[in-house]
Amino acid sequence: MKTTLTSSRLTLTLASLKDLAFIHELQSYPQSAEFNTLGVPENEEVTRKSVSSWEECHAEEAIEQYHFKISDGENPVGLIGLKLGAARYRRGEVWYTIHPGQWKKGIATEALNLVLDLGFDQLKLHRIQAGCAVANLGSIKVLEKVGMIKEGRGRQILPLSKGWSDNYEYSILESDPRK
């Protein structure tokens, strides 16, 4: 299974503890944490525990969760993940966080397309879904750009730093057109 994904300008590699400083910095930006249910990490040790658990997932023979560092050349610019569901359902869920200085450059869209390719072409998933806070207009645009379809709205399902938020549910099927 490929664990490095590439496009003309991006490289996605499995995140590890060697990426800790970048990951902690990325998760510490208030803009990045605004729509993240985890919020800003209390300290680097909290981030270290998360990344350590990611490494454990990546070391398993059958990976059930992929956590990729997104790089634009030599510079890390974000994170993107794919969590697999029960094999019988051939389903996965994606998430991403992009460095605020890299927003509106198409990075999330390009990285998400790479992960969709991984999910459908290599892992043979049937469905990939994503959730998005209703006020997160940037993510809504990304999800729709790659061909994901809004399926519904969960009321006050996300515990965000500013309070409870509604969530849009998006999905794309293996038979749907990808963009």
CATH architecture group of domain 4-128: 3-Layer(aba) Sandwich (3.40)
From CA 59, how far away is CA 55, in angstroms rounded? 6
Domain boundaries, the chain: 4-128
- The two tokens of residue 168 are 């849009």
Average pLDDT in the chain:
94
Express as a percent the part of the chain with pLDDT over 70: 99
pTM, two decimals, is 0.94
The enclosing H or E element of 79 equals strand 75-84
The CA angle 119-123-127, to the nearest 5 degrees, is 50
How sure is the predictor about 119, in pLDDT bands with cuts at 50, 70 and 90? Answer: very high
